[in-house]
Amino acid sequence: MRRQKTIENIVTTSGVGLHKGKQINLRLEPLPVDSGIVFFRSDKDVLIEVRPENIVNTQMATVLGSGDVTISTIEHLLSAIYAYGIDNLKICVDDNEIPVMDGSSSAFCILLDEAGITEQEKSKKQMIIKKSIKVQDGDKFVEIIPQKSPEFEFSIKFEHPAIAEQNFEFDFNKKNYIKEISRARTFGFLKDIEKLQSMGLALGGNLNNAVVLDDQRILNVEGLRYPNEFVRHKILDAIGDMAIVGYEIIGKYNSHAGSHHLNHLLTKKVLQDSSNYELVSEQVAQDYELAAQKV
């Protein structure tokens, strides 16, 4: 029987927030079994649980909130936490954003390695998807499909020579995540960033924490970390957004041109009907995967 997990040691780091450009301190603390993932605004003394109903904005990033207290850009950190199989964790920040670090989740993976992962005295539950569920907006869609092993597939299409059409299919596990997904950075177009900065947003965005493109080319001197880094980052985001359901998911996530908003609608649609899924112990889920491998 596999058990729930938290971190062994308290760890801290700091970095710039993407939208306000302020220096933000981040602290991760272990929590007891069945606590889930919770955020704490230390400057406001407000605790916010990670649940779909606490997502208050998905326009520029995934934003968690309670009343007038919010925490933005949570998806990269949640993506790493999900990949490491952590069930119970307190995330403390002293402002309204998670530090963007280098625009990927690799710094958070390093932080979790530093913290160490420990098993707890209670079994872990996973969510087995029982029905296909889809959310669509024109030709854009996100869906979750019954499948006996976790998988993510994403496709994008941009009228830009450096991106064009990209597709990536990814068998989900921690090792593959670290190698294939964690280093993929967020990206944006120079004209959009300039417009956002004129509105007081994306003030922390620069070539050190994002892949930036003009009308024809990538502006980062070092180039890309993966040939298809753009679509891989979309999977990184999707993993963080889907982590908000509160369980590891056994099924296939598939999307074309999906967004934080569509991912949020998908998590709500999955949870609104208990016949969409079954919550089982991890051992049952492992048996489910093994049966699939024998077919």
Element (H, E) at 60: none
Residue 233 annotated in ligand binding:
yes
CA 245 – CA 240 distance, rounded (Å)? 10
Q: Strand 37-41 to strand 46-49: parallel, antiparallel, or no bridges (unpaired)? A: antiparallel
Nearest Cα to Cα of residue 19 among 235, 241, 237, 210:
210
Residue 237 annotated in ligand binding:
yes
CA 104 – CA 194 distance, rounded (Å)? 21
Q: Active site includes 261? A: no
Alpha carbon 290 to chain centroid, angstroms: 27
Neighbouring C-beta atoms of residue 203, cutoff 10 Å: 17
Do 74 and 64 form a contact (C-beta atoms < 8 A)? Answer: yes
- Cα 45 to Cα 57, 173, 277, distances in angstroms: 21, 35, 35
Residue 137 annotated in ligand binding:
no
Q: Which residues are within 8 A (CB) of 98 and not within 5 positions of it... i.e. 6 or more apart?
A: 17, 24, 26, 71, 72, 73, 74, 76, 77, 91
Exactly one of 19, 260, 261, 264 is catalytic; which is it?
Answer: 260
Annotated binding site for Zn(2+): 76, 233, 237
Binding-site residue ranges = 76, 233, 237
Residues labelled as active-site residues: 260
